[in-house]
Amino acid sequence: MSDAALPTVEEAVALGLTRDEYALVCTKLDRPPNQVELAMFSLLWSEHCAYKHSKKLLMTLPTEGPFVVMGPGENAGAVDVGNGLACAFKVESHNHPSAVEPFQGAATGVGGILRDIFAIGARPIAVLDSLRFGNPLTSERSRFLLDGAVSGIGHYGNSMGVPTVGGEVYFEEPYEQNCLVNAMALGLGETEKLVRSAAAGVGNVLVLYGASTGRDGIGGASVLASAELGELSEDKRPTVQVGDPFEESKLLECSLELLERGLIVALQDLGAAGLTSSASEMASKGEVGIDIDVATVPLREADMEPFEIMVSESQERMLCVVEPGKLAEVIALTDKWEVHGTAIGSVTDTGHMRIFRGEELVGDMSVAALVDDCPLYDLSPAAPTQQLYPAPAAVLGEDADAQEALLTLLASPNIASRRPLFEQYDSIVQSRTVRRPEEADAAVLQLPGGGGLGVSIDGNGRKVAADPYWGTIAVVLECASNLACVGAEPLGTTNNLNFGNPEKPHIAWQLTEAVRGLGAACRALDAPIVGGNVSLYNEGASGPIYPTPVIGMVGRLPDVERAGRLGFAQEGDAIALVGPFRPALPASELARLRGEALPDGLPELDILAVRSAQEAVRDAVREGLLSSAHDIAEGGLLVAVAESALAGSIGATVELGDADDAWTALFGEAPGGFVVSGHPAAIAQLAERVELDIIGAVGGERLHAQAAGAAVDVALADLREAHGALAQLFA
């Protein structure tokens, strides 16, 4: 190899390695690394790629179940949905890139998660997103990030012809400096034809196809995604990747045709860490070696150094393993789709990643050292001794009555209609969308051959900040409740764990407790984890974000014609409160509007009782007993009733005669509660299966509510005006 000057330990630290890690690299190589090797180690040993502060925790999660086809460790997880089909799905983050350049950060986040889906042989059928920003009504920066991220998501998904069918967005002060952009995608593929990413077959050829390689995104995984934003000086910030959805459309069709024709052995997308990650992980999974000649890689910039080629995060690229006898056919197919397939290397029996530039060997590393031997760290969790997050500014006065509170809640950025956002997305392209945003608690998609998929994505950082264990359980239960409201049974779960710096004891405690809660909830619901992502170091100068585990869940329903809706539908229908609903005001949306600090803990939950209520609601939806079903979430019972009235454009009268405290009864929050409506005889049938109270009836053009002396009497038009408050942002 070259005798050029070797990088110093200071350069290693600048790339994200610690001094001890650099010393360990030297031990693994039995010499100091050169520039190419150091760049590759810094990426694969980064938090973003190695999960070195979270992998031990993730190993405690349940990953097996009767419907699991492909679990963690592949590009995406997959569950059996019947008729020989599997649903592939996964959620990932693009937080730090979106905080630097929101349009391209969010757009390439969508592009990356779509590649994860078709990399296992499934055609993408839907996208959902989970977003967090500061207050866009008071912060120009948050408004800029919101506009850019929403536009980027819409641009990429719409251009790809993949519908954005659901999602969520919250606005809280702890996300002011560090926004969160999590994207979830799902796809369908024949179960027997799904492909894994392990390289195999000594002598087989590596083919790179897709966009040419440039300098965009260099250092993204090791620096931008693995450090606090406040630690990065401007000269160290990597450029954010630039996406081209039309190039990805060709990449998608080419990849699926390659798989359909049985031309490739393994397939892997190039995301974080580019060629370094994709090739090394393929080699590790296949227990083989790989040689790559960077001189053969198609470049956008002719003077790129070998290390730049290996770590570039240029978008819309795929790497596949091909038998030599099929190489010509593969290249012909990539030419047909204009994605420029090029043979860049081969599978070997050396167990090493060897990087060449023509005849010159410029890097030689053990695959095991690169991928498997990164040190994993034990966390040092300790509960915080003081409040981490300041109380929010109050926007609702102490003298407000229940009606003013309801209208203020409906106008709150965390509850107001998301229509101005989701109307920027195409939710019906591909013609399989049965329930669009704000029609039901979960999106519903038609399956070929009958039946459908329900899919939901949820998170609540404020609740998790108050109690990482019970708050995370509440998020999982909320996701499953959304599926129940459309009649879907959970098949599997994906997650994105967005947290601050895990090297700090209080953040380590948040992460540890949240993972413990995630595991407990998924076990209780029989909804195993099939994949996911971890995004750490989400901190700025003002402190960490709320701990934000984002949960995505996929379920199946037998008849999409009976998929549930959230809107009241029929004059005279009875309205019932279903489930073990035990509302509380601390950490609620009302508490936030009142300017209250977070509590030190949340009430314990009876997970199995909530599951029983979910099953009862799900079965009633499937049997056609209910006109509407809506789970009680932010804002409490009265907000849920108002949302159902607005969705159905029909009023309601409700009375909580046994309420001890009107404000808790009307606006308190907890998992396990559902507002349902239906013919009185049907509601009576449901009452034989589950805890239930009939609280009112559907009808009229106003919302009337009474509880322990508090009264509300407001026209639907006034509710609708309040609920449309976000429209002013996009006027």
Question: CA-CA distance, 663 to 429, in Å (whole number)?
Answer: 43
Detail the DSSP E strand segments found in 574-725: 574-578, 628-631, 652-656, 674-678, 692-698, 702-707, 710-715
Question: CA-CA distance, 550 to 511, in Å (whole number)?
Answer: 13
Catalytic hit among 53, 94, 155, 723: 94
Question: Which residues are CB-contacts of 27 (< 8 A; sequence separation ≥ 6)?
Answer: none
Which candidate, 383, 705, 397, 699, places its Cα nearest to that of 572? 699
Q: What is the SS3 assignment for 547?
A: coil
Q: Is 550 left (phi over 0), alpha (psi -120 to 50) or beta?
A: beta
φ/ψ of 37, rounded to 5, equals: -65, -40
Q: Are 662 and 403 in contact (CB under 8 A)?
A: no
Question: CA-CA distance, 370 to 384, in Å (whole number)?
Answer: 35
φ/ψ of 4, rounded to 5, equals: -60, 155
Q: What is the SS3 assignment for 723?
A: helix
Q: Are 157 and 120 in contact (CB under 8 A)?
A: no
φ/ψ of 277, rounded to 5, equals: -70, -50
Which candidate, 365, 363, 362, 361, places its Cα nearest to that of 350? 365
Which candidate, 72, 196, 50, places its Cα nearest to that of 494? 72
Q: Are 565 and 647 in contact (CB under 8 A)?
A: yes
Whether 704 sits among the annotated catalytic residues: the reply is no
Question: CA-CA distance, 93 to 497, in Å (whole number)?
Answer: 9
Question: CA-CA distance, 560 to 433, in Å (whole number)?
Answer: 10
Question: CA-CA distance, 459 to 448, in Å (whole number)?
Answer: 30
Q: Are 113 and 127 in contact (CB under 8 A)?
A: yes
Whether 94 sits among the annotated catalytic residues: the reply is yes
**Could you list the active site residues?**
48, 94
